[in-house]
Amino acid sequence: MTVTTAPEAALGVLPRADGSAKYSHAGYTVTASVNGPIEAQRRDEHPYEAHVDVIVRPAAGVGGTRERHLESILQSSLTQIILVKNFPRSLIQIVLQVEDTPENDYVNTKLVQASLSFAIMPALFQTAVLALLSAGVPMRATATATAVAIVPQDGTKKSVVDPSPRDVEIAQSVHVLAFTSHDELLLAESEGDFTVKEWDDVYETAKDVCCRPVPTKEGMEMVLDDEHTNGPDLRHFLRSTMENKVASDLHWK
């Protein structure tokens, strides 16, 4: 059941938006568009900073209370990394369209689910950051997010990075953590039943996925070094995606 595919991303997929990105990982596919800074509506206008507007659209149906919750979490986190003070009285609009969610063979899928928002949060977060980079919105840091579930297995507990819906269903606790590129904890959302010690372990795991330092070993040594096999290296992924995009954009030179 575990989907262990590497994350994939494409930048600038929508021609008319200022910036856009399509990101798929762990069964989730999200497309984001970013427009900004544009003129803000009168009621959203802030005299000192830009208003960040996040809209989450689910794969099916219209957004409900769960989407509002996701939007408010993303909005408060993204406001922290965007240099909002540079654009007073303007608006930066981020629209996130969920395209695909992993199917769970074990439960009858309901169209409207108020919970189960946890596993999708990293995908939404990553897509928003990629789209902001694509739009060239000035940011003080980039950020990466991941989900970790603690799943009981044969009497013990093991932590699963990027859990599948089945893992989330049987998990004792599910955690979403986001870190900035300065290794600071930007966002932490956990639910379930856990101890502080377990949360510490989850923190270590998530930090390893989100903020792995650039490998110093080269060539053969790096390939043989299987010390880090727990999940993808998201910071490196973000960097290489941008590098590839820049390289292809400047190909004509």
Q: Tell me if 153 contacts other proteins by CB under 8 A.
A: no
Q: Please state the closest distance from residue 47 (CB atom) to other proteins, in A.
A: 12
Distances (CA, A) of 188 to 7, 164, 178, 197, 198: 21, 19, 7, 15, 14
Q: Tell me if 71 contacts other proteins by CB under 8 A.
A: yes
Q: Which of 39, 191, 221, 249 binds other proteins (CB under 8 A)?
A: 191
Residue 2 CA to residue 203 CA, distance in Å, equals 21
Query: Pick from 18, 33, 42, 140: which is nearest to 90 by CA?
Result: 42
Q: Tell me if 77 contacts other proteins by CB under 8 A.
A: yes
Q: Which of 57, 188, 201, 208 binds other proteins (CB under 8 A)?
A: 188
Q: Tell me if 195 contacts other proteins by CB under 8 A.
A: yes
Residues in binding contact with other proteins, number by CB under 8 A: 41
Q: Tell me if 90 contacts other proteins by CB under 8 A.
A: no
CB crowding 203-219: b at 16 or more within 10 Å, else e: bebbebbbbbeeeeeee
Pattern 1-40, binding to other proteins, x per CB under 8 A?
----------------------------------------
Got the DSSP string for 126-163?
Answer: HHHHHHHHHHT--BS--EEEEEEEEEEETTEEEEEES-
Task: Name 1's bridge partners.
Answer: none
Binding residues vs other proteins (CB under 8 A): 48, 65-66, 68-69, 71-73, 76-77, 79-81, 85, 107-108, 110, 114-115, 117, 140-141, 175, 180, 182, 184-196, 199-200, 203
